[in-house]
Amino acid sequence: MNRRKFLKGSALLSGLFTLNPVDFFANGVKEIPDPKNKAKNIIFMISDGMSSGTLAMANLYSQNILGKNGNWMSLYLENKVSRALMDTASASSIVTDSAAASSSFGGGYRVRNGVLNIGANGEKHIPVWQKFKKAGKKTGCVTTVTITHATPAGFCVNSDSRNAENEIAEMYAEIGFDVMMGGGDEFFNPLKRKDKKDVYSLCQQKGYQILKSKADLNKAEKGKKVLGIFNSGALPYSIDRKNIPELQQTPSLAEMAQTAIDQMKDHKEGFVLQIEGGKVDWAAHANDISALIHDQLAFDEAIKTVIDFAEKDQNTLVIITTDHGNANPGTIYGPDATQNFNSISNYKFTNEYILNAIHSDFNLQQIKDWIYETNTISLADDEAKHLLSFYSGLERQEGGIYNYKKLPFKAYSEIQKKHNSVGWISMDHSGDYVEVAVYGPGRELLPPFIKNTDLHYLMLKAGQI
Write out the catalytic residue numbers.
98
Measuring CA to CA, which residue among 297, 216, 213 is closest to residue 263?
216
Measuring CA to CA, which residue among 401, 340, 408 is closest to residue 375?
340
- Scanning 176-230, the segments in alpha helix (DSSP H) are 199-205, 214-217
Residue 273: strand, helix, or coil: strand
Give yes or no for a contact between 144 and 235, defined as CB atoms under 8 angstroms apart: yes
Give yes or no for a contact between 106 and 117, defined as CB atoms under 8 angstroms apart: yes
Measuring CA to CA, which residue among 419, 346, 342, 335 is closest to residue 380?
419
281 is in an annotated binding site: yes
Measuring CA to CA, which residue among 237, 402, 416, 427 is closest to residue 331?
416
Rg (CA), the chain: 22
Beta strands (DSSP E) in 322-367 are 325-326, 330-331
125 is in an annotated binding site: no
User: Residue 271's beta-bridge partner residues?
Assistant: 138
178 is in an annotated binding site: no
Residue 357: strand, helix, or coil: coil
Q: How many CA atoms lie within 13 A of 367 on its CB side?
A: 24
267 is in an annotated binding site: no
**What is the sign, positive or negative, of the torsion defined by CA atoms of 300, 305, 310, 311?**
positive
C-alpha to C-alpha distance for 378 and 370, rounded to whole angstroms = 10
| DSSP-assigned letter for residue 162 | T
- Nearest 10 degrees: Cα torsion 130, 135, 141, 147: 30
* Residue 122 identity (one-letter amino acid): G
Measuring CA to CA, which residue among 165, 187, 169, 280 is closest to residue 231?
187
Residue 183: strand, helix, or coil: strand
C-alpha to C-alpha distance for 166 and 188, rounded to whole angstroms = 7
Give yes or no for a contact between 150 and 183, defined as CB atoms under 8 angstroms apart: no
C-alpha to C-alpha distance for 332 and 341, rounded to whole angstroms = 9
C-alpha to C-alpha distance for 255 and 30, rounded to whole angstroms = 37
C-alpha to C-alpha distance for 7 and 204, rounded to whole angstroms = 45
Task: Write out the binding residues for Mg(2+).
Answer: 48, 149, 151, 276
Task: Write out the binding residues for Zn(2+).
Answer: 48, 281, 285, 323-324, 429
Task: Write out the binding residues.
Answer: 48, 149, 151, 276, 281, 285, 323-324, 429
